[in-house]
């Protein structure tokens, strides 16, 4: 019977440490998901800004000639 008590104690200890590891992994996963959510929002904002800039350049490109410059005069 002493052998069974020792085995049970070892199993309980192993289960305790596995629960601790799972809790630590769960906390790390939650932290990573929070970070990923924040990065996704930042990326979405950056992509919207990039799209707005592209649309602005298509409407009025800054590299176009100014209105007072008329190449046909020269």
Q: Could you tell me the end-to-end alpha-carbon distance of the chain, in angstroms, rounded to an integer?
A: 108
User: What are the sequence ranges of the domains in the chain?
Assistant: 2-55
Based on its alpha-carbon atoms, the radius of gyration of the chain, rounded to whole angstroms, reads 32
Residue 61 has what pLDDT?
61
**Is residue 42 within 8 Å of residue 36, measured between CB atoms?**
no
Place of tokens 């002493």: 2
Q: What is the pLDDT of residues 22-72, one digit of tens each?
A: 999 999 999 999 999 999 999 999 999 999 999 988 887 666 666 676 666
Rounded average pLDDT over 7-27: 97
């Amino acid at each position: 019977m002493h052998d069974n008590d020792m085995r049970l104690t070892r199993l309980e200890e192993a289960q305790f440490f596995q629960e601790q590891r799972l809790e630590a992994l769960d906390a790390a996963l939650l932290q990573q998901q929070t970070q990923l959510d924040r990065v996704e929002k930042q990326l979405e904002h950056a992509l919207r800004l990039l799209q707005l800039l592209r649309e602005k350049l298509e409407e009025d490109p800054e590299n176009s000639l100014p209105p007072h410059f008329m190449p046909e005069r020269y």
